[in-house]
């Protein structure tokens, strides 16, 4: 029986002083030219055909020789200058090429065609045009303005093609944004650079190689049913124009910005649903949100034929809301109404129904934030969805509103 012959590894060859190795990769056999170390990095280039590798090595040799001849033509002053520069850079571990590139990067001629601030202005002008055409929403345009204005101000006079990933990371670090804010700024800056790539202002988007910061996952804070009841009571007493807004927030879980876009004609009292239209939705996807019995009572009491659910200004909304929470002696929680609804609705109706009501596309968010929070809260949830205007409460106990009022007076 003949022994299987072992293939001998081919010896590497040298072509004009450069080493050429035969290597096996997943893509097959390759011929790799080793160019040695350049600026602290080992440089190699691979070819499918050996002769192509040899030709590349020969061209590189010619390039080296040309640079060598050019260096011989240096004047005494240039040679002295180079030696002194290298001595200055020695402690930093930087060569002349690196120093020259750094200087060029920070002293490049800048005009409106490559100035970062000017290009951001062009991009925002385009976004404004898209807004006027109805291609994007007012909120999207405002988000662009908000997240780009600081970056624009700090990079005025800087050529866009000199901005690298490390520069963006350093800028984000310097601003000391919280995780979510950092993530959002990084997103909008990246969208701008994508536009710059499309318009051939830069070759690549530097944001893609920036550092990602993970958000800490915290359990959402929610209101107790007693706190929700007190908030609604104070709203009815002091700011009736806020009641419909708050009732939809607490008992339907619709996002604040979506509520502000709602019209009374979006509410179908017959089929007990609220139609969140696509151009009103955060996700640009239309959905129907069911109206619970107690929410129907609130909305019927303050029902209008048409017009916005909240027909006052945003500053008025914030002012009234702060006043209501102050009078209720309840600490305001960011997105607290939606978190409260999600928790209590999940406790009563389960994952699938809650996903539909909230307008989520999957259960990931619910599992991450609400599943543990909703556990053993069925009793509290029932109390929350039983909160009704004071008049209806009294009537449900067999008394008219007038009788209940007389009882309070006498």
Q: What is the pLDDT along the chain (410 residues), one digit of tens a residue?
A: 445 444 445 678 989 888 999 999 888 899 999 988 765 678 889 999 999 999 998 988 887 777 665 655 677 777 788 888 888 888 888 788 788 777 776 677 788 889 999 999 999 999 999 999 988 888 889 999 999 999 999 999 899 988 999 999 999 999 999 888 999 999 999 999 999 999 999 989 999 999 988 776 677 889 999 999 999 999 999 999 999 999 999 999 999 999 999 999 999 999 999 999 988 887 778 899 999 999 999 999 999 999 999 999 999 999 999 999 999 999 999 899 999 999 999 889 888 888 888 887 766 766 666 665 666 788 999 999 999 997 654 554 444 433 433 443 33
How far apart are the C-alpha atoms of 331 and 338, rounded to whole Å?
15
State the pLDDT at residue 205. Answer: 96
pTM over 0.75: no
DSSP state of 47: E
8 A C-beta contact, residue 18 and residue 34:
yes
- Please spell the DSSP secondary structure of 62-130, one letter per residue: HHHHHHHHHHHT--HHHHHHHHHHHHHHGGGT--HHHHHHHHHHHH----TTTBHHHHHHHHHHHHHHH
The residue extents of the domains of the chain are 13-72, 76-107, 116-209, 225-409
State the pLDDT at residue 408. Answer: 37
How far apart are the C-alpha atoms of 19 and 37, rounded to whole Å?
13
State the pLDDT at residue 400. Answer: 40
Tokens of 11: 């010896």
How far apart are the C-alpha atoms of 61 and 36, rounded to whole Å?
12
State the pLDDT at residue 391. Answer: 67
State the pLDDT at residue 284. Answer: 77
State the pLDDT at residue 67. Answer: 67
DSSP state of 201: S
**CATH number for the 225-409 domain, one of 1.10.443.10, 3.40.50.2300, 3.40.50.1860, 3.40.50.20?**
1.10.443.10
Q: Which CATH class is domain 116-209?
A: mainly alpha
| Cβ neighbours for 20, distance < 8 A, ≥ 6 positions apart | 12, 13, 14, 31, 32, 33, 34, 50, 53, 54, 57
């Amino acid at each position: 029986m003949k022994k299987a012959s072992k293939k001998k590894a081919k010896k590497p060859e040298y072509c004009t002083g450069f080493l050429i190795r035969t290597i096996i990769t997943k893509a097959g056999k390759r011929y790799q030219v080793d160019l040695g170390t350049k600026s602290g990095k080992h440089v190699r280039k691979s070819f499918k055909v050996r002769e192509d590798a040899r030709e590349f090595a020969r061209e590189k040799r010619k390039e080296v020789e040309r640079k060598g001849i050019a260096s011989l033509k240096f004047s005494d002053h240039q040679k002295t200058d180079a030696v002194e520069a290298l001595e200055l850079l020695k402690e930093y571990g930087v060569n002349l090429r690196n120093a020259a590139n750094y200087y060029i990067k920070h002293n490049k001629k800048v005009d409106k065609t490559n100035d970062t601030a000017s290009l951001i202005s062009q991009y925002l002008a385009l976004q404004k045009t898209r807004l006027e055409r109805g291609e994007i929403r007012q909120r999207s345009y405002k988000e662009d303005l908000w997240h780009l204005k600081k970056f624009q101000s700090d990079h005025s006079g800087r050529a866009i093609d000199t901005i690298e990933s490390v520069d963006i990371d350093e800028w984000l670090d310097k601003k000391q944004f919280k995780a979510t804010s950092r993530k959002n700024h990084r997103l909008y800056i990246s969208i701008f650079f994508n536009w710059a790539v499309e318009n051939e202002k830069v070759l690549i988007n530097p944001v893609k190689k920036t550092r990602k910061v993970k958000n800490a996952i915290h359990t959402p804070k929610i209101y107790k049913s007693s706190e929700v009841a007190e908030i609604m009571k104070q709203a009815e007493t002091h700011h009736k124009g806020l009641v419909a807004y708050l009732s939809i927030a607490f008992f339907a879980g619709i996002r604040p910005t979506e509520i502000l876009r709602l019209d009374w004609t979006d509410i179908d009292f017959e089929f007990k649903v609220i139609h969140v239209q696509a151009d009103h939705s955060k996700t640009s996807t239309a959905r129907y949100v069911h109206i619970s019995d107690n929410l129907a009572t609130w909305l019927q009491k303050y029902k209008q034929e048409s017009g916005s659910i909240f027909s006052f200004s945003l500053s008025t909304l914030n002012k009234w809301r702060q006043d209501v929470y102050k009078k209720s002696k309840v600490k305001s929680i960011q997105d607290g109404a939606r978190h409260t609804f999600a928790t209590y609705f999940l406790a009563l109706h389960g994952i699938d129904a809650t996903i539909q009501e909230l307008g989520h596309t999957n259960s990931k968010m619910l599992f991450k934030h609400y599943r543990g929070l909703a556990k053993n809260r069925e009793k509290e949830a029932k109390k929350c969805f039983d909160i009704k205007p004071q008049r209806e409460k009294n009537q449900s106990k067999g008394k008219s509103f007038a009788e209940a009022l007389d009882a309070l007076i006498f």
